[in-house]
Structure 1
């Protein structure tokens, strides 16, 4: 019989997930000679740490870039704020602007201007929390079941609520962006919500870091023809910008990020 302390067992499971292997609760319980409840506790802890995504019967790896919102919020704050600030020129006064799930759009919630008559909608819990602290922008929260990994609501209830809105400008969250494959997402439900969001919006803006450009995710949201503006980082490589421009995309370059 194999005797494993929980931390060692958890490390072994995490190593498999890191290698891209899905895991089964039943198989792991048999292998480590523990109960399935013990394995479920391990998987809950690993999911909370961003090492996997729980599914029925086990867990699957987080696909590259598909980190939970809590982890994404920590990384690249100055760059995200610079991207959000550059997008402000694309939002006319008096607009109904929708902030999709995405850590960069949380930064947008913090920098949206006062006294411009904006109405703000969002399905992002973090963006809604940021807007709630400002008290200067009326906000519409699109609800439904909360997905902790995504950081907001993307289920059928959220999509149905979205169908009743007439949105002027959406800041679309995306996991990847390329001329060949358009905007992509790692999660199917998230992608479905984003497609519905684009359909309800007059203007679609994507704020994208260098790491997301040229990537490819399993679920397509919209091709480049459906995106009106792309905001890129100040140090975005010129060849990537040229590719976007040649595809007919309006590209806005952010100013250098300012550390707080």
Structure 2
């Protein structure tokens, strides 16, 4: 670092600077000298034929083959490398590699078939377990003859049919009772409205006032018009409908006193 001032004084002398300007054609100005220096220090031009420069496309990075996790991925990779790798081998090595690839493909196919067979067997076992769980049991322990088994099956089938018929009849009876109750409530409301209408008509007649059109038509009782439809059902209901009919009559009597 301490020698830099001395080096600078020896390099940038007045005579050196004037000589450099003269040789470069800067001063005194000389175009010929400047052009000659440009030709000397410029980059050399190619001597071959000049043509358009085509842009180069960058090469894409090759995708790294992932580690196979399924038999299908192994088979695809084997087919891919079987087409590319043997090109770099000699004749004996190429034949050895071809034999190995063929054997590997066969072993892989056999493994896939075994896997499919195993899946089918597992599915069959699963289905058989389901069927076994749904078998009917006729009796617990003891011997059972074929005739007795058929008789038990017939008895159970008849009992099941009776249960289904009883459940159906029970649902129909419940629906019928519900319809009768709704009809009875509608009849109570209709009779109550008819009594109020008659009372209003009597008051208007007593006062000598005109009767409105909406009070002229009587209100029909829906229970009275459709009572015959439920008469047979009420007889079939028997004991079950006794309590309900008493409650309904009590409701009707209460509404009549209102």
**TM-score per shorter chain, which class?**
under 0.3
Q: Which has the higher contact order (CA 8 A, sep 6+)?
A: 1
Q: TM-score, normalised by structure 2?
A: 0.20
Q: Give 1 or 2: higher helix fraction.
A: 2
Q: Give 1 or 2: higher strand fraction.
A: 1
Q: TM-score, normalised by structure 1?
A: 0.20
